[in-house]
Amino acid sequence: MLTSLCSKAKDGKVIDNEPEASNDKPRARFHLHLRDRRGEFAASSTLVKATPYDLGAIAQSIQNLARSTAPIGKVMDFLPKELNRMNLERDHWLEEYARHGQECVHVKQKNQEVLEPLQIELRGIEDEIERVKQLMQSTNIQIHQNNEWIRARLRRFSEHQV
């Protein structure tokens, strides 16, 4: 029915073929609004008498809708290829992560092997330092005790001579 009332011109626009037809039967007319006040798509319907102009306008709206969705179709054609490419890239980076993770573990083990004898040597040196500190402390105590003993002797000696 729509094709009998409208035809396509060479430039893709809809042209009415017939003059207004008298049709007493009311039909539902849908008014499509791109966005309502809340920013959502909305549609309303009212019961009106359909005319060839109305059908032409509907056909024009359908053609405009098809033209505006064509870029989405082209994007959708490339989407599977792009998803495959992204999956391959993700797999590559996961392999890199695993490889570098293994290298990191290997380097940590080598470092531990190299550092272990040095840490043992360091603990030995720290123990030696602690032993020498204790020896110095006991020697200082001994010196202090000897100084006290000498002072005490000198006092006794000076008291006997006076």
Whether 28 maps to a domain, the answer reads yes
Whether 147 maps to a domain, the answer reads no
Q: Which of 33-37, 52-56, 64-68, 71-75 has the lowest mean pLDDT?
A: 33-37
Whether 133 maps to a domain, the answer reads no
Please tell me the distance from the alpha carbon of residue 70 to that of residue 28, in angstroms, as a whole number: 28
Give this prediction's pTM. 0.38
Between 28 and 56, the more confident residue is: 56
pLDDT for position 46 = 52
pLDDT higher than threshold 60 for residue 81: yes
Domain count, the chain: 1
Residue 42, token pair as written in the block: 């909305």
Whether 146 maps to a domain, the answer reads no
Instruction: Name the amino acid, one letter, at 149.
Output: W
Whether 136 maps to a domain, the answer reads no
The full length of the chain comes to: 162
Cα 26 to chain center, whole Å? Answer: 56
State the residue range of the domain holding 56: 2-71
Whether 33 maps to a domain, the answer reads yes
pLDDT higher than threshold 50 for residue 75: yes
Cα 142 to chain center, whole Å? Answer: 69
Residue 155's Cβ-side half-sphere holds a number of Cα atoms within 13 Å equal to 6
How many C-beta atoms lie closer than 10 Å to residue 55's C-beta? 20
pLDDT for position 158 = 87
* Mean of pLDDT values over 107-118: 96
Please tell me the distance from the alpha carbon of residue 6 to that of residue 93, in angstroms, as a whole number: 56
* Mean of pLDDT values over 109-134: 96
| pLDDT tens per residue, range 6-43 | 344 334 444 434 444 444 444 444 444 444 455 555 45
